[in-house]
Amino acid sequence: MTRTDADLQQMARDHLWMHFSRQSVMTDGPGVPIIVKGQGHHIWDSRGRKYIDGLAGLFVVNAGHGRRRLAQAAAAQAEELAFFPIWSYAHPAAIELADRIANLAPGDLNHVFFSTGGGEAVETAFKLAKQYFKLTGKPTKHKVISRAIAYHGTPQGALAITGLPGMKSMFEPVTPGGFRVPNTNFYRAAEMGFSGASEEQFGVWAADRIEEMILFEGADTVAAVFLEPVQNSGGCFPPPPGYFQRVREICDRHDVLLVSDEVICAFGRLGTYFGADAYGYQPDMITFAKAVTSGYSPLGGTIVSDRLYEPFAHGDASFPHGYTFGGHPVSAAVALENLDIFEEEQLLQNVRENSPVFRKTLEKLTDLPIVGDVRGDGYFFGIELVKDKATKATFDDAESERLLRGFLSQALFDAGLYCRADDRGDPVIQLAPPITIGPAEFDEIEQILRGVLTEAWARL
């Protein structure tokens, strides 16, 4: 039975509770965009309109939409063995994928604990850090440090690591033990209290805030630091040069674990399999999800070092944690095929070669009065919008509401670009397209942004 757009809107209004969304869009508003098809870097909605997918769904569809090979890999696995858990049993797809990921992961990150998504991967890392220290004679190490405005997921443990008060206050008390330090937003470094000039100095300053927090809380109480290679929330903050090397030294000095939350940055976003490789540091754990399957089936995981694994490897020790669908055979089979595509089509190389062109194309937008900063890395960029370029004055809540929700998101979409207009920090537009695209598509994206941002400024 073919449903009309009106049928679907009605059913959505009656029954679908969207995530992180105002239901009033459906109850009192025009309805919700319904996406029905994807091919390459394009998507189509239920009214037949075509859009550039400038966000790879949600930082997910790195290999692009409509890949028959991935659909076939899923079908073949489902026919052979649709489901079996990895609770005391195993299946070949999860075994092969764990082996492949361990071989790709940096250093001695050799052990893969699968989940179904990113929040669970973060939750796993948090729980593992606590248990590791309990098993190794440091039972009071349980606190976790992360950065302001960083998003690390919604389970209540992961939420304790998330640095966005607006996402937590309604759920307080969340898991205790989460502490926040400044992020690496160089554009707003002075506002955070940094008084130096260079990015290198800023990196030292920002890393030292982590040590300050460890010392303040007591190193014997701190288990781990959770950092994204490039922080997404707030609008793509890359690490200043030397930042991660200094964080590593600090963590080693105080026996604190460094968790690289790569739910977005792993599997191609930065032109490498892992963000830790892009910036040359060695974490104790990496969390991943999203692009490992390019979204053709859900999967996440936590990659763990030999040292952290060791106390669990012998005798009657175990990690009493898991998910029914963690390491799902269909998802694991899809991930293996997806990684084949990455290799055969040299998608990481495509990102490395074209990232500077993408940056330069987006930097053209800095001639617009509303564009304060263009930043990011790989195929992952944020464009910060300001009211006054000279002073970097940002929009107040009401202006932000009018600009982002009232105009920009819809106007960009109407102009043919699906991307993200976000005000969890200062207002930004975020781009993270499929990693298959190149300079012609960058130009198309820039042209759409130019038109819409010019109109946004005129409306202010």
Ligand X SMILES: Cc1ncc(COP(=O)(O)O)c(C=O)c1O
Note the residues at the interface with ligand X (CB under 6 A).
117-119, 122, 151-153, 228, 232, 261, 263-264, 289, 300
Of 151 and 381, which CB lies nearer to ligand X in the complex structure?
A: 151
Beta carbon nearer to ligand X, 43 or 56? 56
Backbone φ, ψ for residue 57 (5° rounding):
75, -80
**Alpha-carbon distance 53 to 123, whole Å?**
29
Q: Which is nearer to ligand X, 151 or 243 (CB)?
A: 151
Question: CB atoms < 10 A from the CB of 12, how many?
Answer: 17
Please state the closest distance from residue 367 (CB atom) to ligand X, in A: 31
Question: Between residues 418 and 442, which has the closer beta carbon with respect to ligand X?
Answer: 418
Residue closer to ligand X, measured from CB, 232 or 436: 232
Written as six digits, the tokens of 46 are 């239920």
Residues sharing a CB contact under 8 Å with residue 207, sequence separation 6 or more, in sequence order:
242, 243, 246, 247, 250
Q: Which residue is nearest to ligand X (CB)?
A: 118
Q: How far is the CB of 432 from ligand X (least distance, A)?
A: 10
* Residue 119 or 163 having the CB closest to ligand X: 119
CA distance 399 to 87: 51
Smallest gap from Cβ 117 to ligand X, in A, equals: 3
Q: Do 325 and 297 form a contact (C-beta atoms < 8 A)?
A: no
Residue 152 or 387: the one with the smaller Cβ distance to ligand X is: 152
Query: 274 near 348, Cβ under 8 Å?
Result: no
Find, among 227, 295, 237, the residue nearest to 261 by Cα. 227
Closest distance of CB 151 from ligand X, Å: 5
| For residue 173, cis peptide bond before it (omega within 30 degrees of 0) | yes
Question: What is the distance between the alpha carbons of residues 275 and 287, in angstroms, rounded to a whole number?
Answer: 11
Minimum CB separation of residue 58 from ligand X in Å reads: 7
- Residue 12 in contact with residue 26, Cβ under 8 Å? yes
CA distance 135 to 137: 6
> C-alpha distances in angstroms, 424 versus 185, 269, 401?
14, 21, 11
Q: Which is nearer to ligand X, 435 or 453 (CB)?
A: 435
DSSP H or E run through 288: strand 285-288
